[in-house]
Amino acid sequence: MDALLVLADGTVLRGKGFGATGTAIGEVVFNTGMTGYQEVITDPSYTGQLIIFTYPELGNTGINTEDLEADAPAVKAVITRELAPAPSNWRSSGHLEGWLQDHGVVGLSGIDTRAVVRLLREGGAINGAVSNDGTSPAALLAQVRSAPSMEGQNLAAQVSTIEPYHWSRPTAAGFDQRLQPKPLQPYKVVAIDFGIKRAILERLSAHGGAVQVLPASASARAGSSATRWASGRRCRCPRFSALWNAAGCTGRRWWCARRRC
């Protein structure tokens, strides 16, 4: 199917569509990585954006379940010079195009992506639209120019976890776990989720961290309580045995042999 990229300055580029059918409007940004397209597409820091890859081909290694930075794609659209017709990788469990279609992400291929990157590099981030549903360039330009700028938007509230949670797993990719010798007591780590990538949590865990992830709206007090909860140790007080939790210690005097509650 035919597809369009329309920028707010009036630039119109024509290519071929893939992935989901529809129109995606957002800020157009680029990524220069030569590998890791799956990690980029699921990176929460790209939420709501249209991502252009300067590397000329996507999809050659397919999709797997171990390289996700979140449960679903964060971007609205994917733009590439060329889409590989078939994946070839021992870890692949599916096609990039089918995966994007399943998650409602619009795709565009067949344009000079590096020329677009030069425009962005010289003129800065700009809103744009990727469409493969037959919408006219004029209609798309009107939608793009009426779309709000991402500057000043509270995107952290959109990508942050709602409830606190504990993370203690290294990556599921056995060859890339990089496990370190475990400390006598786990390192207590509090991570505030402003769009945290899963790989960060996996690396912290691999290095012996007991990670408590809090929402972006969490207070300093909640963070202090979480570090105590993350220790996972039972109270050693001879009179009151208790567990630390997210609300604080339920013991009345001592939470370990050395420190008071």
Residues 83 and 187 reside in one and the same domain: no
210: exposed, middle or buried (C-beta count within 10 Å: 0-12, 13-18, 19+)? buried
Cα–Cα distances in Å, from 162 out to 3, 105, 216, 223, 253? 36, 24, 9, 15, 32
For residue 182, tell me if it sits in a domain. yes
Answer yes or no: is 247 within a domain.
no
Range of the domain at 209: 159-230
pTM equals: 0.81
Q: What is the Cα–Cα distance from 34 to 218, expressed in whole angstroms?
A: 36
pLDDT tens digit sequence for 14-35: 999 999 999 999 999 999 999 9
Which residue type sits at 83? Answer: L
- Among 113, 138, 153, residue at a domain's last position: 153
Tokens representing residue 74 in the block: 């964060």
The answer to whether residue 242 sits within a structural domain is: no
Mean pLDDT of the chain: 86
Name the region of 79 (left: φ>0; alpha: ψ -120 to 50; beta: rest). beta
pLDDT, tens digit (0-9, with 9 covering 90-100), for 191-233? 999 999 999 999 999 998 999 999 999 887 776 666 665 554 4
| Number of separate domains in the chain | 2
